[in-house]
Amino acid sequence: AQSVTQLGSHVSVSEGALVLLRCNYSSSVPPYLFWYVQYPNQGLQLLLKYTSAATLVKGINGFEAEFKKSETSFHLTKPSAHMSDAAEYFCAVSDRGGSNYKLTFGKGTLLTVNP
């Protein structure tokens, strides 16, 4: 079964600092990978996704992620954190076939941004 592991349930950075949120996947075949963001009391919004085109994926709000097959990783980065980036971030994985398409989520990483 597909799974993802998010390292660090809570990451705290200063405003203007680099944001790095870690995600590793478990799959024998490179899966599709996603990052979603959840602001307080809101639904999930897609930041970016990897579907086997370019390994460096650019998303909304200045975020990007790099798919590294050798490391089975899909870490999310942003060069300079903004206060508005404070939210819960979820990495998710899906397999590549079948009618039973679904996302399997990691446990989430809470990002706090300090002024």
Positions 48 through 67 that interact with another protein (CB under 8 A): 49, 51
Q: Taking the CB of residue 55, how many other CB atoms lie within 10 A of it? A: 12
User: What is the β-pairing status of strands 32-38 and 109-114?
Assistant: unpaired
Please tell me whether residue 103 binds another protein under the rule CB under 8 A.
Answer: yes
Positions 6 through 25 that interact with another protein (CB under 8 A): none
Nearest CB to another protein, comparing residues 19 and 106: 106
Enter the tokens of residue 2. 């597909």
Nearest CB to another protein, comparing residues 36 and 113: 36
Name the DSSP letter for residue 1: -
Please tell me whether residue 86 binds another protein under the rule CB under 8 A.
Answer: no
Please tell me whether residue 88 binds another protein under the rule CB under 8 A.
Answer: yes
Please tell me whether residue 32 binds another protein under the rule CB under 8 A.
Answer: yes
Q: Is 54 helix (H, G, I), strand (E, B) or coil?
A: coil
Beta bridge partners of 37: 45, 89
Q: Look at residues 55, 51, 64, 67 and name the one whose alpha carbon lies nearest to residue 18.
A: 64
Contact positions vs another protein (CB under 8 A): 32, 34, 36, 38, 41-46, 49, 51, 88, 90, 94-105, 107-108
